[in-house]
Structure 1
């Protein structure tokens, strides 16, 4: 059969979409998972958060070095192996009998799923001529983004229909096996290309250790609420700050090693151009804010419904449904706005649409910080849509600014860097909810012991506390977007002129 690059790309994207879907699929069903696993939302939220943050971390770590490994061993082979790893993780997650087993299964899933993204970008370079390569890379990035954007809605719909979070993982198996067979078939005619260079094992070890230490150090703040309902600790555990400092030290060592490596994992020249470096900063900060929204909305809706209808046995199912649809106001507007964002970046350069997007996202996040117990879904949806429009306008300009600094042989690694940095920001955002949110909630509960609502309407009191914490974490997101706005202001505004082959 003659090679049909567009058809092969579609097959590759099916597996990428499936892996990205699982990045956020549990956000809408996490409360039900915690209930089934007998995990308290008041005292064990820090452990349950690893169902999300563990996937984010492993997804990002695998992305940093598996692309290079596929250059050495053969991209098709490594891609199919990674898809198989994802399916094994899905089966383990569906059969998990404890929270720890579920977290481990999610890590296995993510290691396979994250690796498929940069490998697929390298495959696109093999499949398409230079004139069509950038478009193919853009399609892969869009599919990856679309997957994690609709994951929460997919989870909410399935929970509403079948009331089973395990089904989310079981369904991966038949879909994934079909994708595995079709992708193997589609890649048969693609020539195997192998680099004769070496692999930077030290660099891979350093960047992986840095990401792991950073995430665990930030997530340690959740243990503030691990003692009882109100918490009894005056500060983070003693290992939190040292781990964060160790992460920064390991990152510095990684940079030192990469500058001297004959075969670096990441070409540091991408950071020597001002627009590219600032776009990377913007991407991390945007990921941080996005994670807050994706996690805060289901928590807000679940808490409110659980307190309003404490005896309703179907309340978690209803909450998953409503949270999924409410978050679609954010994510679907992101997807729609990404199209004009790309058109504007192509015409005016990355800076103008990036500035416009950040202003809209900042305004929307500030409005969301004012949510309260009686906020309506209409108000919440409009504010989420405003934020999503702003964030969507940013997707293409940020990627374009990084791609401008890349040569024709660096486009795959540059695209992977864009996605990886956004996920680093999302990992930090999820971790910040336990680092800040849990102790703040405990402090407000203790401070409100004399509040008349404690005795007259305890559910209202607890919801007021939850709403205040959600609002304050959205202010953290607004602060991150403010910094991103300053970074975008210093980006160069000239449109791209690509003369590379």
Structure 2
């Protein structure tokens, strides 16, 4: 427990948990959104999520390199989380036509770039946050420190996701409480019901993605305030 009195240790652990919650939200809700609203099959939903997942390993490599070049864990970790927050904020503006527009006339869609940006930010924070915690525990306890990092990320994925998902479902049920399916074969009434129901789904996802963006900004502030700089290299 004495390790939690070290701000760099506790800050790294909490930052890692928040990033885990953000990752879990993306892993669950992007495929569900693809299927429920964009009417994609399982393959299409997986390929949509792949845009985000590709950014994570690229971001992880970039984050490690930047931390070494800038000699700053806090700047790189905070920048990665802010980038991911911006990505989720962009995702919170999606509507039924969001998968159509292309980026500057290129084959890349704007939605693809937004997903990649989100994954890139989630990847960038991995190396500096992990390294900051391992530096805080020292050589003899690095194995335990690495295990604790995984545990905190899993806790963040479970607890953080549950809180955000519960909040989103509460908002969805509140929005659809007065939405009653039409009785009979009136096509106009049924079409209106479908439009309103889809809008309620979008509103739920918008709320969830915005809440995730806020959580990631809090994680960025936490990283900026608590992570220590890289130790000076020891010359032999």
Match of 1:477 in 2: 212
Please give the residue correspondences for 1:321-332 in structure 2 after superposition, counting only pairs within 5 Å: 321-332=43-54
Match of 1:79 in 2: none
Equivalent residue in structure 2 for 1:357, among 69, 73, 80: 80
- 1:29-60: CA deviations, max 9, x gaps? xxxxxxxxxxxxxxxxxxxxxxxxxxxxxxxx
Q: Larger radius of gyration, structure 1 or 2?
A: 1
**Cα distance in 1 for residues equivalent to 2:150 and 2:85:** 21
After superposition, the Cα gap between the structure-2 partners of 1:454 and 1:386, relative to the gap in structure 1 and judged at 3 Å, is: farther
Structure 1, 490-499 or 293-302: larger mean CA deviation: 490-499
**Cα distance in 2 for residues equivalent to 1:492 and 1:446:** 45
The structural deviation recorded for 1:349 is 2.5
The structural deviation recorded for 1:356 is 1.3
CA contact (8 A) 1:454 1:461 kept: no
Structure 1 unaligned residues grouped into runs of 5+: 1-267, 307-317
The structural deviation recorded for 1:435 is 1.8
Please give the residue correspondences for 1:143-222 in structure 2 after superposition, counting only pairs within 5 Å: none
TM-score, normalising length: structure 2: 0.84
Please give the residue correspondences for 1:22-171 in structure 2 after superposition, counting only pairs within 5 Å: none
Match of 1:340 in 2: 62
* Number of matched pairs: 219
Alpha-carbon RMSD across the aligned residues, in angstroms, is 2.2
Deviating above 3 A after TM superposition, structure 1's stretches of 4 or more consecutive aligned residues are 447-450, 453-457
Alignment of 1:391 with 2:122, yes or no, is yes
Structure 2 unaligned residues grouped into runs of 5+: 101-108, 182-187
Match of 1:461 in 2: 196
- 1:363-420: CA deviations, max 9, x gaps? 1111111112222163332111111111111000010110011122211110011111
The structural deviation recorded for 1:447 is 4.1
CA contact (8 A) 1:295 1:430 kept: no
After superposition, the Cα gap between the structure-2 partners of 1:493 and 1:433, relative to the gap in structure 1 and judged at 3 Å, is: closer
Alignment of 1:275 with 2:8, yes or no, is yes
The structural deviation recorded for 1:280 is 1.1
CA contact (8 A) 1:291 1:426 kept: yes
- 1:341-379: CA deviations, max 9, x gaps? 112223313111112112211111111111122221633
